[in-house]
Structures are given as C-alpha cells and as structure tokens.
C-alpha cells in the first residue's frame, strides 16, 4: 500500500488544507488530519475512508467502543475521534440553545424590564437550575405587597414542581423610589429564611423603579452593579450574606458562684436536697460539688449512696473515709 509521503504534496490532506482551506477537503481527508497517521498496511487516508464508509450518516453518534472494533484503531485514536466529535457537538448545542443564564442583576433586569412601567406593584420570581439557567419566569402577585398576605408556599411550591435549585425575586415600586421599605425588608427576611429551610435559596431580591433599581445582594455585599452571583465557583445567596452581616457574638459567661447553688441545712451535716437531679458524667460539676462538701460538711467520712465509679469517686476515695453503695 502506498504511504502518505508517496502522494503528491498538493494532494496530501494537511498541505491541501493549508493551501485551499477546509472546504476543499473531503470528510475522509479531514478525518485523516485528525488521525495523523495510518496503521500497518493502510495509510491514514485509507484508514479514514474506511471509518467514514463504515459509519456513514451515523458518524456523529459513534462511541469509543464502536471505533475500537475497527482493525488498527487503538484506544488513543478512538479517543481522538470521539473527543473531537463531542467538542463540536457541545459548541453547536451552545450556539443553538435558547438557554438563558442569569449571571448577575443586569441579566435579571433585562428579563424584567417591563416591570418599570407597571402602575401596580408586581412580585415576579425567576426559577433557576443548578447552573443558574432560567427554568421559568412567573408572576407571584399583583397589588400591594404585604407580608401578612404573601406566603412562602406561593413562591416555593412552583420551585419544587420545577426542581429549581434557587430563585430570584423582583418587585417593582410604581412610586419611582427603588429604596426598600420596612415592609420590603420584612418580606425579604421571611422569604430568605423559608428558602434556606426548603433547600431552595434566594439568590437576590431586586426592587425596580422607572429609573433605578436596588439589589439586596449587591448592597449587602457592598459591590458595584453587575457583580456576579457565582464567584470562584461558589453560588452566592442572600441567606449567606445576611449571616455574614450579623455581628459576632462574644461569650461573656462568668464563673458560677457557689452560693447560687446553696442548699440549706435542716440540721448540722444534714442537707436538704429538694428536687435537684442530674443524669450523666459529673465532670463539669466537680468544682461545685466539692465547694458544697467543703463548705457545708464537717468530719472525715463521706457516704455517697448513689455513687458510680466515675470522677467524683476517683477524687473522694483518696481524701476521706469514703463509703458508697458497694461498701454499705
């Protein structure tokens, strides 16, 4: 069989591509460039012709296993062909897709621009999948927005039906002022908490007016307009922002004074126990227990009727004439 180098340069697939472009090549010539080399007994052009002939119109659906059935095609060449086909199909699908990806507040505003001119208040919800692709745009309510009337199920029931991963809410202010009212703040907090419980987080709540807008996500994050909701691969949510805005809590616990646990005596060395019950390890109570013993009890003997073999026993057994239920 003639080798590819025996073919005149002008007719070799690579040289022809460089001189005349892809349109001048046959399908087998293009595949030959992708394969790069032939196998024993077949040059690359003949090998590519056999592959094209075998699969024909089903070429775009071939798998690695299909290619491995061809004599002389190993795993490396099979992967080259299958990967190239998958790459082309992926780009083609992206180009032809009507998928709408919501990256930031500007994308939201472009989808809800008509709300700016509405004479009544509207609440609109965008339901998104895990890639922030729009699943559905739905009007939740028309009229004055009232937290007493708006129930989270009106927002999250459609989300469960759509298998939505997250939601974005948009509300218009016909007054022209996009600043959130106290009622808006209460509604946002209520819906955000419900979304966190449902596992369908609220990414943003945007208020629009005729000439302006207010994004809770951007304002709380102190970012400029158009700040992306996904940063470094992490999806931002209003709940996460709210949590980050909360002031840090300080632990100011003080050591408990023993007199808070004072147990009055009826007679000397007799303690009135009332109804003080504690089940479990007494390690945290050791300091209090011994402060009571040292303050309220005299003598060198100590009877612990309900003792076990825990921390109290281990400390007392070496300090006093100790008796417990095992020794009585």
- Here the CATH number for the domain that contains residue 49 is 1.10.150
Residues in the chain, pLDDT under 50:
248-263, 265-266, 271, 273-275
- Here the CATH number for the domain that contains residue 168 is 3.40.140.10
Q: Where are the beta strands (DSSP E) in the chain?
A: 122-128, 134-142, 166-172, 202-208, 213-215, 230-231, 234-235, 265-267, 270-271, 301-304, 321-324
Are 141 and 268 in the same domain? no
Task: Give the pLDDT of residue 37.
Answer: 80
Are 57 and 76 in the same domain? yes
> DSSP letters along 223-241, please?
--TT--SEETTEE--HHHH
Query: Do residues 60 and 52 touch, judged by C-beta distance below 8 A?
Result: no
Last residue of a domain, one of 222, 245, 268: 245
Q: In what order do the strands lie in the sheet with 202-208?
A: 134-142, 122-128, 166-172, 202-208, 213-215
> Which whole-number Å values give the CA distances from 214 to 2, 206, 267, in the listed order?
72, 6, 72
Task: Give the pLDDT of residue 7.
Answer: 73
Residue 249 is classified by DSSP as P
Are 193 and 126 in the same domain? yes
Query: Do residues 217 and 224 touch, judged by C-beta distance below 8 A?
Result: no
Last residue of a domain, one of 245, 271, 305: 245
Are 29 and 148 in the same domain? no
Are 8 and 73 in the same domain? yes
Task: Give the pLDDT of residue 15.
Answer: 87
Task: Give the pLDDT of residue 319.
Answer: 64
SS3 state at 274 = coil
Task: Give the pLDDT of residue 242.
Answer: 81
Write down the residue that tokens 């196998």 correspond to.
39
Are 217 and 291 in the same domain? no
Are 79 and 173 in the same domain? no
Task: Give the pLDDT of residue 163.
Answer: 94
Task: Give the pLDDT of residue 200.
Answer: 94
Task: Give the pLDDT of residue 327.
Answer: 59
Are 301 and 270 in the same domain? yes
Residue 163 is assigned to a structural domain of this protein:
yes
Task: Give the pLDDT of residue 107.
Answer: 93
20, 22, 27, 31: CA torsion to nearest 10: 100
Task: Give the pLDDT of residue 134.
Answer: 93
Number of domains into which the chain is organized: 3
Residue 240 is assigned to a structural domain of this protein:
yes
Residue 250 is assigned to a structural domain of this protein:
no
Are 112 and 224 in the same domain? yes
Are 121 and 237 in the same domain? yes
Are 135 and 25 in the same domain? no
Domain region containing 36: 4-96
SS3 state at 196 = helix
Whole-number Å distance between alpha carbons of 112 and 208? 9
Residue 252 is assigned to a structural domain of this protein:
no
Query: Do residues 152 and 138 touch, judged by C-beta distance below 8 A?
Result: no
Are 172 and 59 in the same domain? no
Last residue of a domain, one of 96, 116, 138: 96
């Amino acid at each position: 069989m003639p080798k590819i180098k025996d073919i005149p340069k002008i007719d070799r697939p690579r040289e022809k591509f460089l001189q005349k472009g892809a349109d001048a090549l046959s399908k087998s010539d293009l595949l030959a460039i992708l394969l790069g080399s032939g196998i024993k007994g077949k040059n690359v052009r003949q090998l590519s012709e056999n592959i094209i002939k075998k699969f024909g119109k089903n070429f775009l659906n071939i798998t690695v296993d299909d290619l491995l059935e061809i004599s002389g095609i190993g795993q490396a060449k099979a992967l080259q062909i299958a990967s190239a086909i998958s790459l082309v199909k992926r780009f083609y699908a992206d180009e032809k897709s009507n998928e709408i990806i919501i990256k930031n507040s500007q994308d939201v505003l472009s989808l809800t621009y008509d709300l700016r001119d509405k004479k009544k208040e509207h609440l609109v919800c965008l339901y998104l999948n895990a890639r922030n692709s729009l699943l559905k745009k739905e009007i939740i309510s028309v009229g004055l927005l009232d937290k007493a009337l708006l129930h989270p199920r009106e927002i999250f029931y459609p989300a469960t039906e759509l298998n939505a991963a997250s939601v974005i809410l948009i509300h218009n202010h016909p007054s022209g002022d996009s600043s959130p009212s106290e009622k808006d703040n209460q509604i946002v907090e209520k819906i955000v908490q419900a979304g966190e419980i449902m596992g369908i987080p609220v990414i943003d709540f945007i208020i629009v007016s005729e000439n302006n807008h207010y994004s809770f996500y951007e304002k709380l994050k102190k970012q400029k307009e158009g700040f992306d909701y996904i940063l470094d691969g992490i999806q931002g949510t209003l709940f996460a922002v709210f949590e980050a805005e909360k002031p840090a809590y300080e632990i100011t616990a003080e050591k408990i004074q023993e007199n808070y646990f004072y147990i009055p005596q009826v007679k000397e060395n007799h303690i009135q126990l009332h109804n003080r019950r504690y089940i479990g390890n007494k390690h945290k109570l050791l300091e209090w227990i011994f402060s009571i013993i040292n303050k309220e009890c005299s003598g060198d003997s100590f009877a612990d009727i309900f003792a076990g073999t825990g921390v109290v026993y281990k400390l007392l057994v070496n300090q006093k004439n100790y008796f417990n239920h095992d020794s009585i």
